[in-house]
Amino acid sequence: MSRKTWEFDRQLERGETGVMIAKLVLRGRYPMVTDYNTDMAMQRRGIDLLVEGLGYVEIKTDYHDDSPNFFIETGVENRPGAIDTSGAEYFCFVYPNRRRMYLLPRPHIVRWVREHWHEYVQRGKVIPIQSRRGTATWVASGIVVNRDRLTRDIRKAGGTVVRIQWKETEEVLSNLDWGKGE
């Protein structure tokens, strides 16, 4: 089976854009937001922002306009992926083209993935994603989870799910190239 190889630097650039947007939008809704995007120690812990009232947040940026799903990274090169290695209390899934984001508590995501993992394995739905940077390549894996199902189940389990829709004026960025999803 042939699979697409993602250019890591391009994905990193898109991720940084998502962090910038999340920071701008969240600053209008929470008392204080601290940016750790350039702090390598915090990045190794899987933390992009500290949001007063929420805690540590890892940003996940998705440019697929019409996707009703979240991609949850479960492994990288046969090692634990973001849901297990992040020190964040929340994952923030940012959809820049839709000007929408979702904040979900990471412990609830972890619990949900553990409870439903067998479904994805049995149906062959654990997806490999190959990335490249220069001559180096690696494979991450994850599952595509229906957004409505996951957010509903997290709420049923007592978790808080925050959905934010913002206006272009909140971005305060005049030169941002939105591009199209790959």
Residue 43 CB contacts under 8 Å (≥ 6 apart), including other chains: 36, 37
In a domain, 96, yes or no: yes
Separation between Cα atoms, residue 143 and residue 145, nearest integer Å? 6
Q: What is the model's pLDDT at position 178?
A: 46
Which of helix, strand or coil describes residue 131?
strand
Residue span of the structural domain in which 39 resides: 7-74+81-110+144-171
Residue 101 near residue 95, CB atoms below 8 Å: yes
pLDDT tens sequence across 142-180 = 999 999 999 999 999 999 999 999 998 887 654 444 444
pLDDT confidence bin for 182, thresholds 50/70/90: very low
Query: Could you tell me the pTM of the whole model?
Result: 0.87
Which of helix, strand or coil describes residue 32?
coil
pLDDT > 60? residue 102: yes
- Mean pLDDT in residue range 52-63: 94
**Which tokens is 65 given?**
């306009």
**Which tokens is 103 given?**
């904040």
In a domain, 139, yes or no: no
pLDDT confidence bin for 106, thresholds 50/70/90: very high
In a domain, 53, yes or no: yes
pLDDT > 60? residue 79: yes
In a domain, 20, yes or no: yes
In a domain, 123, yes or no: no
pLDDT > 80? residue 89: yes
| Number of domain units in the chain | 1
Which of helix, strand or coil describes residue 110?
helix
In a domain, 94, yes or no: yes
Separation between Cα atoms, residue 120 and residue 122, nearest integer Å? 6
